[in-house]
Structure 1
Amino acid sequence: MGVNSAIYPSLKGKRVVVTGGGSGIGAGLVEAFVRQGAEVHFLDILDSESEKLAETLGDEHTHPVFHHCDLKDAAAIAATFEKIGPVHVLVNNAGNDDRHTLEQVTPEYFEDRMSVNLRHMIFCTKAVVPAMKAAGGGAIINFGSISWHLGLPDLVLYETAKAGIEGMTRALARELGPDGIRVTCVTPGNVKTPRQMKWYTPEGEQEIVDAQCLKGRIEPADVASLVLFLASDDARFCTGHEYWIDAGWR
């Protein structure tokens, strides 16, 4: 994130939780919120990457806190959020885009993919809502995906879950709006992370850039800039919608 990037005074000191914060986009989110002076907690199962991130970010005043949490386990989610305490901003970022075909889908794999990509968002939200209501508001930011809008191949369960996240966002925004809780969805295009790079050859990566209106690669810091705005008081009337950052990929 550049030295001229925005600082939001309303985020300073806020307790922020980022799921899947140990790597990729999630790590960029953790870094960005730390830079805002927020009290950052992040959940992941990647212990070594997460511990290294927590050690390298922050200063003597602000350090992100890593919590090992398997988001497929609803009881573990509840216990982790109880330990963290009241949350001002929840970023439901965690997900997994493993490739698969319809022929490979079993009932067990279906349940596993829904747990990884959709179900935990409901239970993380459920965990933070009571304190947000008591505080008079809060921000919940869910991560969707451009994949189902484009109908990308070999992602039928991932795309099913991501489409559901947009519907969930609108439903929760309506239900929680009277309590001052904003619920939005960020829809990234192809973001340059180590995980994404393993799926594409240089030629495949160039095809994506060629299909974008803006001819560059989206970085985690670019996504974080949008999330920071949606989490801040500057976005106080933003809720119930998707916000795209895809460089115009069509």
Structure 2
Amino acid sequence: MFSLKDKKAIITGGGSGIGKAISVLFAKQGAEVHILELTAESAQNTVDEITAEGGKVFAHACNVAKHDEVVATFEKIGNIHILVNNAGIAHVGKVDTTGEADFDRIMDVNVKGVYNCLYASIPQFRKSGGGAIVNMASIASWVGISDRFAYSTAKGAVMSMTLSVARDYINENIRCNSISPARVHTPFVDGFIAKNYPGNEAEIFDKLSKSQPIGRMGKPEEIATLALFLASEEAGFITGSDYPIDGGFIKLNN
């Protein structure tokens, strides 16, 4: 089950964290993995891990916020069967503490970056007779998260784009779903805590972990497993849906 043999997958932001876990798992399941990162060096650890396990992987230097760059990269890769829009950046701030430059930066990567990849992917999906898109949304698409105005705005847009694409291309055998994780333990989280709470890392880590009712953060591998299901033939009857993977955050945090 959940084989991706003979499938070609593009994964944005596949060099670290959730994207790396998805890239490694997809390659293990037989996919030819194409990682998009700002620089090829950013993807090197993932490439080395996949290659060591006998997988097939390619790294492409591509800024997802640059339309022409994305289109050229997708055309170079050619026909695809799977797209995972994972690349994204974070920002802390309320609406009155979010400057225009920061807002534009979040929109460029987290919204326009997803649009660019969706735009560039459709012609390549058509060459393959269809395929599956998995967009990375967030619990911030569902509920209010303190001090996350720009990030929440962007992730709400990702969920809406998911519904629109699912509707528009359902008759072309292109499925589109999204995943909404709660907090996941990645190197980004460790770096954020170290930068903003020096000397209190353990206390803050524990606090952030317990914000999920299940009592811990998610693991990148757990998000990757859900992405694998949604990208596989076993999920062929699923499109236009969002899947919270949140340790009970949305429904049980009351």
- The TM-score with structure 2 as length reference comes to 0.88
Which whole-Å CA distance do the structure 1 matches of 2:143 and 2:158 have between them?
A: 16
Q: Please give the residue correspondences for 1:205-244 in structure 2 after superposition, counting only pairs within 5 Å.
A: 205-244=205-244
AA partner of residue 234 (structure 1): E
1:10-159, aligned counterparts within 5 Å?
A: 11-59=4-52, 61-159=54-152
**CA 199–147 in structure 1, closer or farther in 2 if over 3 Å, else same:** farther
Contact 1:34/1:58 (8 A) holds in 2 = no
From 184, 187, 190, the equivalent of 1:194 is: 187
Does the CA-based 8 Å contact 1:17-1:91 persist in structure 2? yes
Code of the residue aligned with 2:209 in structure 1: it is V
One-letter amino acid matched to 1:98? H
SS in 2 for 1:97: coil
Q: Which residue of 1 aligns with 2:203?
A: 203
Q: Are the counterparts in 2 of residues 114 and 161 from structure 1 also a CA contact under 8 Å?
A: yes
Runs of 4+, deviation exceeding 6 Å: none
- Structure 1 distance, partners of 2:97, 2:59, is 34
The runs of 5 or more residues in structure 2 that have no matched partner are: 194-200
Q: What's the counterpart of residue 196 of structure 2? A: none
Name the CA shift for 1:213/1:101 in 2 (closer, same or farther; >3 Å).
closer
Q: Give a deviation string over 1:147-205, Cα, whole Å, max 9, x none.
A: 34342222211110001111111111000111111000000111000101233443333
Structure 1 residue aligned with 2:173: 180
Percent of aligned positions with the same letter in both sequences? Answer: 35
CA shift for structure 1 position 52? 2.7
Q: Deviations over 1:26-47 (max 9, x none)?
A: 1111111111111000101154
Q: Secondary structure at the match of 1:243?
A: strand
